[in-house]
Amino acid sequence: MFKTIKNDLPASIVVFFVALPLCLGIALASGAPLFSGLIAGIIGGIVVGSLSGSKIGVSGPAAGLAAIVLTSIATLGGYQNFLVAVVLGGIIQLIFGLLKAGIIGYYFPSSVIKGMLTGIGIIIILKQIPYFFGLDKNPEGDFAFLQVDGENTFTELLKAINALLSGNFDKGATLIALIALGILLLWSNVLSKKGKFFEIVQGPLVAVIVGIVFYVLTKSSALSLETTHLVSVPVPDSIDSFIGQFSFPNFSAITNPEVWIVAFTIALVASLETLLCVEATDKLDPNKNVTPTNRELLAQGTGNVISGMIGGLPITQVIVRSSANIQSGGRSKASAIIHGFFLLISVVLIPKLLNMIPLSVLAAVLFIVGYKLAKPSLFKKMYGLGWKQFVPFTVTVVGIVFTDLLVGIGMGLAVGIVVILIKSYQNSHFLHIEDKSNGKHKIKMTLAEEVTFFNKGAILKELDSLPRDTYLELDVRKTRYLDNDIIEILDDFAFKAKERHIDIQLISERGVVENPDSFIEFFKLRPKTA
C-alpha cells in the first residue's frame, strides 16, 4: 500500500480539502451537530478505508442521506435516538455483505453510471457558483435540486447573477477565488509538467495556503472576508469540551418500530449509493481495478456501526471525494486513510487555522473536480455510441440535476431497461460459455447472439476466474448485438490480461485477431448489430 505513497500523500491532501467543507455542510443540511459530519469523515477515511477493497474510493457522510437524516431526527425524537438507527443500519449492511448482495452493483448499465458521474459534475459546478462569489447561504454539500431554504438550484443561481449585476457580492471572496482558480489551472496545465516538486506539492494545497494568507492580510481592509464565508470547524476550549462533542446512542429506543424503519432505509440507501459509487470509481480508475462489492458492504457496515456509536452521521462511499482522489493521482487506499487522519489531527490541533480557509477557494477546487467529471467531450462521445447509450445517459444527467442522485439514476435505469427489452424482443439472447481446458489451460468462450449489461456479472466472474498462463479463444461470430458495457469489460480485461500472461484470440466474421490492443477500437469497425 505504501509503495505508492508519493502519489497517495499529495492526493490525500486534496481529498482532505474537498472533504472538510462537505463533512460540515452535510451535517448542517442534516440538522445534526457539525462535529457529527467530521466524525463520519474520519471514520470513513480511517476505518472504512482500511477495510475496503477499493484502492481509490473514499467514504464519508453522503449528501444523498441528508434529507433522510433531517426528517428522521425529528421523527425519532432526537439525535441520540437517531444514532441507534445508524448503528442498526450498519449491522444490516453487514448482513447484506454476508448475503453477497454486492452483486447488485453489476446490474447498472454503463450509460447510467457515466450519466451519474456527469450529472454530479454539473451539480458540483452549479452549486459552487454562489460560494465562488461569496453568496453562500446554504450548507455546503446540499446537492439536491430542491434546497432546504425553499429555493432550488436555478433560482439560487438567478439570485447570484442578480447580486453580481447589482454589485452586491463579496469582492474579497471573489478575488481570492479567481486567484485560487488561476493557481489551480496554472499548476495542472503548466507547472505539473515542470518537475517532481510540482507533482508532489498539489495545486489545491497552494491555493488554500494563499487563501489563508489573503484572509489574514486583508482583515482590516475593504476586501476582508466575513466569517460566514470561511470554513467553520467547532473549536473546543478544553479537552472536556472536545470530548463533549461526541454523542452516544440511546439504546432504550431500540424497541421503537420507527427506529427499525429508519435503520432499514439508511442501510438500503447507503448500500445502493455505495455500490453505484464503486461502479463509477472503477470506471474512472486508470488502472482498471475491480472493487469487491461484498467486501465493500462489510466495510461500510462496520464504519456505520462505529460512526453511530460515537455520534457520527451515516457513511457511504462518495463520488465527489473519490473522483478528487483519482484526479489527484491517488493509487492505493493509503490516500483515503491518510485523509481521515488529516481530518482527525486538524480538528484536534488546528481548528482555528482551518477556520481561516475561504469557502470560495474550496469552491474553485470543486469547480475543477466538477469540470473533469462533466467534460463536454463526454456528451459527444456518448452521442457517438448511438441512441441506446445516449438516451439513458442523458435522462440520468437531467434527472440528477433536476431531482437528486437516486431519482436520476432510477430514471436512467428505467430507460435503460426499456431499451434492453426492445432489443430482447427483437432477438432472443443467452450466454454460452464452454470450458475446453485440456491441461494447457486453453479455454473457449462463445458469446451468444445478443449480450447485454444483464450479462455483466456472469462475464466478469468467468474472466476473473481464468487462471494465469491461459490461452483464451473468444468467439463472437454468432453475436448479433454486443452491448457497450460488455465491450468495455473485454477492453479492461485485455489490459489486465497482460499482467496475468493470458493470451487472447478473438474470432469474428472478419477473421482471427491475436491479442487485440483495444476491443473498443475493434468493435467500432465491426457493426454491433446485423
Indicate the domain borders of the chain. Answer: 2-366, 381-426, 432-525
Kindly state the DSSP code that residue 46 receives in the 8-state scheme: I
Model pLDDT, residue 511: 87
**Residue carrying the nine cell digits 463533549:** 244
Residue 44 CB coordination number (10 Å): 36
How far apart, in whole angstroms, are the C-alpha atoms of residue 7 and residue 192? 13
How far apart, in whole angstroms, are the C-alpha atoms of residue 8 and residue 23? 21
The crossing angle, in degrees rounded to 10, of helices 334-349 and 5-29 is: 60
Nearest residue to 246 (alpha-carbon basis) of 307, 316, 299, 303: 307
Residue 279: C-alpha distances to residues 98, 272, 276, 456, 495 (Å): 19, 11, 5, 12, 18
pLDDT band at 211 (very low <50, low <70, confident <90, very high): very high
Q: What is the mean pLDDT of residues 150-168?
A: 87
Q: Are 233 and 347 in contact (CB under 8 A)?
A: yes
pLDDT tens digits for range 374-396: 999 999 999 998 898 999 999 99
Model pLDDT, residue 528: 47
Quote the Cα angle for 59-62-64, to 5°.
145
Q: Which residues contact 488 (CB under 8 A, 6 or more apart)?
A: 110, 520
pLDDT tens digits for range 62-118: 888 888 999 999 999 999 999 999 999 999 999 999 999 998 888 888 999 999 999
Considering the four listed CATH numbers 3.40.720.10, 3.30.750.24, 3.50.50.60, 3.40.50.300, the one that applies to the domain covering 432-525 is 3.30.750.24
Q: Which residues contact 499 (CB under 8 A, 6 or more apart)?
A: none
